[in-house]
Amino acid sequence: MTSSFAVHLQRGTLSVQVEQAAIAPEQLFGFAERRNPKRAFLFVSKVLGRHIPVKPSVMTDAFTQLAAKIPDNLPEPILVIGMAETAVGLGAGVHRALQTRYPQAMYWMSTRHSLGTPLFARFEEEHSHASSHLLHWPVDEALKQQLLATKTLIIVDDEASTGKTFINLAHALQDTGLQQIERIIATTLTDWSGDAVQATLGKKAQTVSLLSGTYCWQDNPNAPLPDMPKVDSVAQGQWQPNLALDWGRLGVIHHHATLNDKVSANKGEKILVLGTSEYVWRPFLLAEQLEQQGAEVYFASTTRSPIALGHAIHISRAFSDNYGLGIANFSYNVDVNQYDRIIICTETPATMIDKTLLTALNAQVIVDD
């Protein structure tokens, strides 16, 4: 059964028609307005744990349902790629769920951070506030060889508007050495792209999602364009990455919960675990453990995405990034009064967390070291 609705933003009207949904649309996403001249609207996920705090168990259910839609009997080796910044945790969650069927599948994430190691590929997400994506060569020789032998490519993003970013990534990978790809699965929570991926990449490609449909954007020609903060850096900044602690930028087979011995929860305690930028998967694993200990836990993350207040965005905070890039970062929908404790998790030194954020949230910091 299809359903349709519209949302009115300052820069125009977004009309949406849902054609199929495994989760009710109102439980899966809301809307917001980007502070981005290139695209005005944003689908804000309610199960992703990025812009809206979400219980880890709800996130796990979404990972599992989405992974279940990926076909059986795919040719191996399998490569799962999570798309920076928003979907790197989603990609890892889908990868973990998928390993019940494909235990040797490799997880790899695009990034907007230079690690000081060789790049495998670079591709563009034209509409994004930070358009360039980097993919770094694995440093482990066995992972390098598995990467080059990839036969099934599973690309995970939170949503697909046109499918163009999937297509750009697939072309970049094939152009730089992945010559044996037999299947491509574009995997999203919400898919508005129609058959664009298959139409461009051919029969070896397909799209799976928890919800699919179409949208139509009607521009308001009289609305002023927003002033977008400069957030498109792909530099290394002041952060010196510890490659031994990598959880996806250099490729992994197995996930390690390196934060789980650093903090515990009291039963019934209400806790927000906040990841930072691309560093979300290990913080999520901590949040999952605290929930299993009996606490009421929610997970969210800081982000470099500039979004206007209104619609799905009720609270917004801006502060300096913790990677030493000199760019703005943001936290959305964090009501300090709702939680007994807020824990910020970071892969950078604790001293790199903006003190204005720490003070505003009265948060403790957990460092992956």
pLDDT of residue 129: 46
Burial-class residue 235 by CB neighbours within 10 Å (0-12, 13-18, 19+): middle
Give residue-wise pLDDT tens across range 267-279: 999 999 999 999 9
Q: Percent of the chain having pLDDT more than 70?
A: 98
Torsion angle of the four alpha carbons 32, 35, 41, 44, in this order, in degrees rounded to the nearest 10: -40
Q: Domains in the chain, ordered, with CATH?
A: 256-367 (3.40.50)
Residue 130 has pLDDT above 50, yes or no: no
| Residue 12 predicted with pLDDT over 60 | yes
Mark 281-293 as b/e (b = at least 16 C-beta within 10 Å). bbbbbbbbbbbee
Helix (H, G, I), strand (E, B) or coil at 141: helix
The single-letter code of the amino acid at 345 is C
Confidence class for position 227, pLDDT limits 50, 70, 90: confident
What's the mean per-residue pLDDT of the chain?
Answer: 94
Residue 131: what pLDDT?
Answer: 64
Higher pLDDT, 230 or 120: 120
Residue type, 321: D
Q: Residue 66: pLDDT band by 50, 70, 90 thresholds?
A: very high
For 76-98, write each residue's pLDDT tens digit.
999 999 999 999 999 999 999 99
pLDDT for 60 beyond 50: yes
At 327, is the secondary structure helix, strand, or coil?
A: coil
The predicted pLDDT at position 286 comes to 98
Q: How far apart are CA 37 and CA 90, in angstroms?
A: 27
Spell out where 132-241 has E strands. Answer: 132-136, 152-160, 183-191, 205-219
Higher pLDDT pick, 232 / 253: 253
pLDDT tens for each residue of 181-225: 999 999 999 999 998 999 999 999 999 999 999 999 999 999 998
Mean pLDDT throughout 290-302?
Answer: 98
pLDDT surpasses 90 at 75: yes
DSSP 3-state percent helix, strand, coil across the chain (nearest 5): 20, 35, 45
pLDDT in tens, 106-123: 999 999 999 999 999 988
Query: Which pLDDT belongs to residue 64?
Result: 98
pLDDT band at 231 (very low <50, low <70, confident <90, very high): confident
CA–CA separation, 142 and 341 (whole Å): 42
% of the chain surpassing 90 pLDDT: 87
pTM for this predicted structure: 0.96
